[in-house]
Homo-oligomer: A and B are copies of this chain.
Amino acid sequence: MGSADLTCRLLGLEMKNPIVLASGIIGTSSSLFLRAAQVGVGAVTAKSCSLQPRAGHPNPVALDWGAGVINAIGLTNPGAEEEVHLLAEGRRILEPYGVPLIASIFAGTVEEFGQVAALIAQARPHLLEVNISCPNVADEFGTPFAAVCESAAAVTESVRRAVGKDLPIAVKLAPNVYNIGRIAAAVVEAGADAITAINTMPGMVIDAHARRPVLHNRTGGLSGMAIKPIALRCVAEIAHAVKVPIIGTGGVNTGEDAAEMILAGATAVGVGTAVWYRGVEALGTIAQELGAFMQAEGIRSLDEMRGQAIR
């Protein structure tokens, strides 16, 4: 009996399996990219970077609250210029493993998104992920770019103009909206080649004894198990709304979770918080478990499964 085929084609990228290290999880150095590759990940996303370096928030920045993790790391990054070197080095190191490198960027204004994108494009990542969950500093309410079709589209256009046609773009959407399908349609219309969904869900963990929020930043982003059903629903809505590939992300801890994501319509599967639950090895183990699941269920390829639960 031949084993299940895990190879995954995401736009131009050839991946040996659909598991993608999600942005912001150990994506801060080329040695960490290497480690992810060595344990068998399909592709690696770097931590999101901005024009200027950012130190991030003071501790506590993250904790396990029982059904998942909450974090407010504060988008710590060395700034775009330094990141270009990190990414170039990362690409070189990942090359022999056949593991594509996805860069991730964010900014506070539409124009700045273009600037950061133009800089990062110099490192020639295989895909550029645009993290639009950050607040729009130019909007009077600080409305996140990911919340409104128009601003999500404006950022996408700005990035597309900055990087030209050669670099594919994935736009990363946030779950705290009522119309993620329409937002996906707007960014695809504006030039996105793929969608990553979802980013963390905004939340707050309070310590009753301390009578205050635990995170220094008070609010943070929820990830892990608790958000898996939110992510699956978002991926399903997006898959109904657009035809582009989706990197389905949120709460994937096991191979079966990854299968659910693909059944909901995802082409590739982002994995982040599972590193806490199962160690860095999770990035390879989940792919193996997915293969074993497909084998046991008589599913030969990812294409056979994709979107099957939402037809």
- Chain A contact patch, size range: 35 or more
Q: How far is the CB of A188 from chain B (nearest CB, A)?
A: 17
Query: With A230-B203, A233-B219 known to touch, is A213 a contact of B179 (CB < 8 Å)?
Result: no
Q: Given known contacts A206-B264, A211-B308, what 14 new A-B pairs fall within 8 Å (CB)? A: A68-B226, A147-B179, A176-B176, A202-B233, A203-B229, A203-B230, A204-B264, A206-B260, A208-B293, A212-B308, A218-B236, A218-B310, A226-B226, A226-B229
Q: How far is the CB of A133 from chain B (nearest CB, A)?
A: 10
Judge if A174 is at the interface, Cβ distance under 8 Å. yes
Residue of B nearest to A264 (CB): B206
Query: With A67-B67, A201-B230 known to touch, is A309 a contact of B174 (CB < 8 Å)?
Result: no
Contact call B309/A211, Cβ cutoff below 8 A: yes
Residue of B nearest to A232 (CB): B204
Judge if A225 is at the interface, Cβ distance under 8 Å. yes
Contact call A233/B208, Cβ cutoff below 8 A: no
- Candidates B65, B66, B232; contact of A206 at CB < 8 Å: B232
| Chain B residues near A229 (CB-CB < 8 A) | 65, 70, 203-205, 222, 226
Within 8 A of B (CB), among A166-211: 174-179, 182, 201-209, 211
CA distance A177 to B174 in the complex (A): 10
CA distance A308 to B204 in the complex (A): 14
Contact call B67/A225, Cβ cutoff below 8 A: yes
Query: With A178-B176, A232-B203 known to touch, is A226 a contact of B143 (CB < 8 Å)?
Result: no
Contact call A213/B176, Cβ cutoff below 8 A: no
Give the number of copies in the complex: 2
Judge if A259 is at the interface, Cβ distance under 8 Å. yes
Residue of B nearest to A290 (CB): B208
CA distance A130 to B309 in the complex (A): 34
19 CB contacts below 8 A, A to B, read A143-B179, A174-B178, A177-B177, A177-B178, A201-B230, A202-B233, A203-B230, A204-B264, A206-B263, A206-B309, A207-B260, A208-B293, A208-B297, A211-B305, A211-B309, A213-B236, A213-B310, A222-B230, A225-B226
| Chain B residues near A79 (CB-CB < 8 A) | none
CA distance A212 to B264 in the complex (A): 8
Within 8 A of B (CB), among A106-138: none
Residue of B nearest to A258 (CB): B208
Judge if A98 is at the interface, Cβ distance under 8 Å. no
Contact call A204/B182, Cβ cutoff below 8 A: no
Judge if A256 is at the interface, Cβ distance under 8 Å. yes
Contact call A66/B204, Cβ cutoff below 8 A: no
| Chain B residues near A222 (CB-CB < 8 A) | 229-230
CA distance A261 to B229 in the complex (A): 23
Judge if A144 is at the interface, Cβ distance under 8 Å. yes
Query: With A174-B178, A212-B309 known to touch, is A204 a contact of B225 (CB < 8 Å)?
Result: no
Within 8 A of B (CB), among A263-278: 263-264
